Chains A and B, each alone.
Chain A
């Protein structure tokens, strides 16, 4: 039975965090006055599986804590307790506390016991405030025990909680003989059945388990103390144990009477572990009791504050993928293998008359490879809701802190985007939303005075446009005050007094380091760091950020990000003897032209008239200083009309070569940024081609 449980930790933590998210969003829905038993059930399930899992893995602190939450939720579910705002707030706090605990455990840090105690006490206050049958001395006792021995002997507490909250049930001391397993009986099955009768908690006494080398896997060295809670008759229990009657010693007693006895029993076991079998996933979890002392959780008084951002240590990152996606991938691989073997057959005894067959095979291979590539890329795609789902909570917390009434609307949560983007976009978004909450939306009174509804709206919107994902944060707040921004910028010496700036440029001022117009600092925002960091982060992802704002009406911040950071549809173009790649998404059209179709402006600049619009022309030969032995070609060429950051522009190249998907390689890894170039790729012949950075090129050429 000695399984290295740590291999499952990663999965467990992921499940826990998912559960927490579900609980959080559930709680927030409750908050809006809509009391739905289904929602409470969801929350309950979340808490329950965390409790079950953490028990299995020996994270007793977490298991205990969730147990208290569960009690409260259970009462809400049964309608024994009303769902009140304070209770929901306490539960939300508990979700945070749990998250903190789990993060701490995950990073092998010590759990901040004082904060846990604080939340626990709050929970208990709520519990006591209601009609629940709780011993009055319970909270203080609870605290004393946990302060003295928070982890090493958590069972006393657990025991008391059980007896305190639940009245009916059975206590079973189950002590199988060594050869129980040989008779074909599996304790796990018994526990599963017990769990169907009522809530089961198992305590495994593993002091008799020998060391690994003496361990006989066919012997059962573990004995259990079981507790089943619920209205269960004597016979029902006996029936379950009917099969093992001759193979074990057992003692069945009603729960209420056995408190003292069971505590005594427990004290003899030095390393007992609680395992709660959850009804959702019974079976295997309860069986995997590990003969390892609970060392993961240590008593601490770590100084981590409540809202300290958890510093995550380096950890293997993982991704959850829809099984459908995997199935497609497997199909695809199958196809490629078939094609490959077909080509192998053709090649074995190759004669010229098989050329057609060969070509067909190659075409097939190409198609399959492309599909394969696409499905692999698909695996990395996650819906943006992974990021968005955190914001309702953020908005809820901050708006109540600021006494503002704010509704958050989420649009396009299922828009898919690369995992790397998802991970990196979170912090900038948090920052922008905080800004909107703090500076954008006015106080309710001000809003009414301005003729707007009392409740402010923040809309978080994601959609695809071209090869980009656009994320917009739209608020209907006070908007940006251009004059104020200008005055502030001049005061801070960021710009000259008589500079003429366009509206766009003025708004861009807020991205300058050290720029903040907030009259006073709050703990939410206003220090004037941040916006420059936001912009830098977004630019490092290859995106850009735009502000549209109208004074008194609101502000829209639009973030454009590439969908993926790895692959790009490209058009290869020839400039002299060199090959460059233009991202296909930025190409509007391509036109064959001759020299005389271009108009000179002021003797230097050139424009091209495209459907009554004069577009600036960038000669790639000039801007990249391409020398070629064959200058006559520049008399005619191909004009590639591209869009970069909303502006149209023409690139004059010699020839269009072909379209292909290219894998983006970083130039910066070994080299450095080059103006007008966003990266490099490797062409079919092994040579390197540069990928043009169209917006950068436009900027570069206008300098």
Chain B
């Protein structure tokens, strides 16, 4: 317990020291991997509930749900990243993210295994993702950062939720 408190203090210290450069991320787990999204993009965190399937779309687009009167699509990040599929359990959560520019914002949910933490990251500490060649798609990854020796992959929300390419496929 004491250790944790100490760690928190250090985090706090980091946070206040680099107020200008600090960005907060919400971190979540997909299997053993840890990802982060800009916390300002997170609208809410919900538990998984059954969706209405949309016909003839990629399998990672699970479907749509009713979020207080708006129809919100839900994407499964595991399937998006070609990770092994996981059973949906009561612990499975949906992170509702906002994307888009000033003209039009969209809301989408992503299914993740669990949310872990809010981390403060100094912008200067973010490393760019290494290039794995064509084998691994890192187009959604903004950068890597290590928090307490764990590697967290920071996701680019706009790219992640961009579906335009699919519209073009359709045509």
Interface residues of A (CB under 8 A from B): 578, 623-626, 665-667, 669-677, 680, 682, 686-690
Q: Are B71 and A680 in contact (CB under 8 A)?
A: yes
Within 8 A of A (CB), among B17-70: 50-57, 63-66, 69-70
Q: Are B71 and A665 in contact (CB under 8 A)?
A: yes
Contacts of A687 in B (CB 8 A): 50, 52, 65-66
Within 8 A of A (CB), among B134-166: 163-164, 166
The answer to whether B107 has its CB under 8 Å from any CB of chain A is yes
Q: Are B72 and A690 in contact (CB under 8 A)?
A: no
Q: Are B106 and A669 in contact (CB under 8 A)?
A: yes
The answer to whether B108 has its CB under 8 Å from any CB of chain A is yes
Give the CA-CA distance A680 to B65 in the complex, in Å: 10
The answer to whether B167 has its CB under 8 Å from any CB of chain A is yes
Q: How close is A666's CB to chain B, nearest CB, in angstroms?
A: 7
Contacts of B71 in A (CB 8 A): 665-667, 669-671, 680, 682, 688
Q: Are A672 and B166 in contact (CB under 8 A)?
A: yes
Give the CA-CA distance A74 to B17 in the complex, in Å: 80
A interface majority secondary structure: loop
Partner of B55, one of A669, A673, A674: A674
Q: Are A682 and B66 in contact (CB under 8 A)?
A: yes
Q: Are B64 and A680 in contact (CB under 8 A)?
A: yes
Q: Are B64 and A673 in contact (CB under 8 A)?
A: no
The answer to whether B131 has its CB under 8 Å from any CB of chain A is no
The answer to whether B170 has its CB under 8 Å from any CB of chain A is yes
User: Told that A578-B52, A669-B106, A672-B164 touch, could you supply 20 new A-B pairs with CB distance under 8 A?
Assistant: A578-B53, A623-B55, A624-B55, A624-B56, A625-B55, A670-B73, A670-B106, A671-B54, A671-B163, A672-B166, A672-B167, A674-B54, A674-B56, A675-B56, A675-B170, A677-B55, A680-B71, A682-B69, A688-B63, A688-B64
Q: Are B55 and A665 in contact (CB under 8 A)?
A: no
Q: Are B70 and A625 in contact (CB under 8 A)?
A: no
Contacts of B57 in A (CB 8 A): 674
Q: Are A690 and B69 in contact (CB under 8 A)?
A: no
Contacts of B70 in A (CB 8 A): 665, 669-670
Contacts of B54 in A (CB 8 A): 671, 674, 677, 690
Q: How close is A682's CB to chain B, nearest CB, in angstroms?
A: 5
Q: How close is B80's CB to chain A, nearest CB, in angstroms?
A: 15
Contacts of B166 in A (CB 8 A): 672
Taking CB as reference atom, which chain B residue is nearest A671?
A: B73
Q: Are B106 and A690 in contact (CB under 8 A)?
A: no
Q: Are A688 and B56 in contact (CB under 8 A)?
A: no
Contacts of B65 in A (CB 8 A): 687-688
Q: Can you name 23 A-B residue pairings with CB atoms under 8 Å? A: A623-B55, A625-B55, A666-B71, A670-B72, A670-B106, A671-B54, A671-B64, A671-B71, A671-B72, A671-B73, A671-B106, A674-B54, A674-B57, A675-B56, A676-B56, A677-B54, A677-B55, A680-B52, A682-B66, A687-B50, A687-B52, A688-B66, A690-B55
Contacts of A673 in B (CB 8 A): 167, 170
